[in-house]
Amino acid sequence: MHRLNCFSYFILGSLLFAVDAYSIPISLKDAINTGISKSPDIEQLDNQVESSAAKKRLALAPSEPSISIGWNDMTKPFNLSTTASNTFQINQPLGFPGRAFLNRSQLSDQEDSLSYQMRALRLQVSTNIKQAYYALSLAQTNIQLNEDTRLAYERILAIARRRYEGGQTTQVDFLNAQIALLSNQNDLADLKTAERVARVQLNVLLRNEPDTPLEIDPIKMNYHPNIEVGEAISKMLENRNEIKSARSQATAADKAYKLAWMSGLPDFQLFAGTSFYRQTYASPYSNAPDANANGFPTHTYSFGVQFTVPIWFLLNEREVIVGASHDRAAADANLDIVYNQSKVALETAVDTVNSYASKIENFEKHLLPLVEQSFNIALVNYSAGKIDFQTLSDTATARRAQKQSYYQAVSNYLTNYASYGQLIGEDL
């Protein structure tokens, strides 16, 4: 029987080794880097940032000039050989001074807003990967705890069998020990399902196939300094990318409102030209008093400025200004909303992190050592007939529950600390 058990464990170990051989080992840091590099959301926003930067660079680009060529005073329609004069002219449109600079400044604010959104998205992806990583690590730890509990129930079953065979206890205890062991095996099915769900979530974030086996680091507690709310709020106001993005949007909306009013300022064009007269009578100087004596120019030049007078400004641009004013008000309100939501989320995250840190410390210093000691003493006392089976079973159940609660608290602590880092704009 002993040889058979050893052989069975050897086969099981070999199968597990074969499965693990195809798993992908990945640390939390590598998982974050992989997820960020493969995120389609980040790629999309990155292209939007580059597009916004290109538009900003074009803001000061001058308008295209126009060139005109004319054949004037033809004696026959469309007969260029009868042309009396030719004119050449170039026109350069120019906007009102300052408008292009204000437009460029507004586009720069929009680019800043998108850049902050990009940073916020990178932190969001990092936080999502951390949460999925911790969830998978917790699920795998729960499976290990189930195995540890199985070994404990096998010890209980062995003691119950020995006492039953020695006539020191009833058959009920022996049967209850078997029931506890089998119930623990049923729990394993649910735990494996939870592990697969967590693994699929992490694989999706890493752009892997959903069922790709992953070998990740076991969950463990990593204490961080206690967080002070006032200091955390200062960091959030200074570094949170969502707040920075909302500020840039509000600034851009204010400049867009000013640009709407600047549409009432006149634009103008500079033009310069020259004319060549093929026929003497076409020259404006042909009738000058001394034209016959001294001759007259057959080649003249022109230069001028043309203004666009916005007399219909209020009629044409009124709704544009009204819309821009509402956009500015909406951007200001959005900044207040982002700030208030961030403050509530931050205080919640800080309180949660500090609370879980206190709970975990109590687990490590008191609860876990006590339940382990209690279970070992209960085994000895049950073996000696000093306690009944139900007390022993309750002790084993409490031991498993406390360990599960501990690792769940560790997972919650690490997850909320990652959320805290996102709220203050740092990848902690």
Dmax of the chain from CA atoms?
A: 150
Instruction: Determine how many CB atoms are found less than 10 A away from the CB of residue 23.
Output: 12
Q: CB-based contacts of 394: which residues, under 8 Å, 6+ apart?
A: none
State which H helix or E strand residue 370 sits in: helix 368-383
Judged by phi (left if over 0) then psi (alpha if -120 to 50, else beta), residue 289 lies in alpha
Q: How far is CA 92 from CA 27, 102, 103, 274, in A?
A: 61, 21, 20, 15
Instruction: Determine how many CB atoms are found less than 10 A away from the CB of residue 45.
Output: 19
**Roughly how many angstroms between the first and final C-alpha of the chain, as a whole number?**
53
What span, in angstroms and rounded, lies between the C-alpha atoms of 419 and 331?
A: 25
Residues in the chain: 428
Residue carrying the six token digits 């600047």? 262
Amino acid 129 reads: I
What is the chain's pLDDT, residue by residue, as a tens digit (428 residues)?
Answer: 333 344 443 334 443 434 444 567 889 999 999 999 999 999 999 999 999 999 888 888 888 889 999 988 888 888 888 888 889 999 988 888 788 888 889 999 999 999 999 999 999 999 999 999 999 999 999 999 999 999 988 888 898 888 888 888 888 888 888 888 888 888 899 999 999 999 999 999 999 998 889 888 888 888 888 888 888 888 888 889 999 999 999 999 999 999 888 888 888 888 899 988 877 777 777 666 655 545 566 788 888 988 888 887 777 788 888 899 999 999 999 999 999 999 999 999 999 999 999 999 999 999 999 999 999 999 899 888 888 888 988 999 999 999 999 999 999 999 999 999 999 888 87
**What three-state secondary structure class fits 79?**
coil
Judged by phi (left if over 0) then psi (alpha if -120 to 50, else beta), residue 163 lies in alpha
Model-level pTM greater than 0.85? no
Which of these, 77, 24, 395, 19, lies nearest to 203 by C-alpha position?
24
Evaluate whether 110 touches 52 at the Cβ level (below 8 Å): yes
Instruction: Determine how many CB atoms are found less than 10 A away from the CB of residue 1.
Output: 5
